[in-house]
Chains A and B, each alone.
Chain A
Amino acid sequence: AQKVTQAQTEISVVEKEDVTLDCVYETRDTTYYLFWYKQPPSGELVFLIRRNSFDEKNEISGRYSWNFQKSTSSFNFTITASQVVDSAVYFCALKTSGSRLTFGEGTQLTVNP
């Protein structure tokens, strides 16, 4: 069975602080895919990144960066110099070949001015 754990239910930071959202996953498959989605207050789900299990390379996209570590089954997401517009619920998700897309419970990030 697959499982995604986002232990941080809510995080509150002040603008310009760096913040890391944790994601821990469980699967017995050797081939799998990890995702992050953003859900702003307007409600839509916005795709941020997709990573496959064979590619542990970390990725940076502007102020966003992702740290994938198979040894600890983690796929953490860092926002550098946070902004108010980053306030949203962030979901980590896992997909394996034989299963549906499994979402974590989400982390509510609030960035205060």
Chain B
Amino acid sequence: NAGVTQTPKFRVLKTGQSMTLLCAQDMNHEYMYWYRQDPGMGLRLIHYSVGEGTTAKGEVPDGYNVSRLKKQNFLLGLESAAPSQTSVYFCASSYGKQETQYFGPGTRLLVL
């Protein structure tokens, strides 16, 4: 099993550009999450999904959109990137609400 994978690993964007980060998991997990990690601020939840076709806002959802069209995939979109969105983005998945979250390798995003 590959676990949780993320595409791409690294990306540079110009302010105003859009992009989509892809997360895939092969563990048949119901729950999926997107976090961002910034120095001194730890990991913060952006959006999450409790199942195929559902999404919900987390702690810092502004400027991001998500979709969960298939159970195994969770997409994070930036419609108009801003320098404040420079960060490392982690996807995670879990079997249930209280179960362990397993993380992907992360995507480094730099917005110029």
Contact = CB atoms under 8 A, between A and B. Distances in A.
Interface in B75-112: 88, 90, 92, 97-98, 100-106, 108
Contact of A91 (B42, B59, B104): B42
A50 B100 contact: yes
B12 interface: no
A104 B40 CA distance: 10
Contacts, number: 39
Given A35-B100, A45-B103, A47-B102, A100 B59 contact: yes
Nearest to B101: A101
Which of B40, B42, B59, B90 has the most chain A CB atoms inside 10 A of its CB?
B42
27 contacts: A33-B98, A35-B100, A37-B103, A44-B103, A44-B105, A44-B106, A45-B92, A45-B103, A45-B106, A47-B100, A47-B101, A47-B102, A47-B103, A50-B100, A91-B42, A91-B43, A95-B98, A97-B97, A100-B45, A100-B48, A101-B33, A101-B45, A103-B42, A103-B43, A105-B40, A105-B42, A106-B42
Interface of B: 33, 40, 42-43, 45, 48, 58-59, 88, 90, 92, 97-98, 100-106, 108
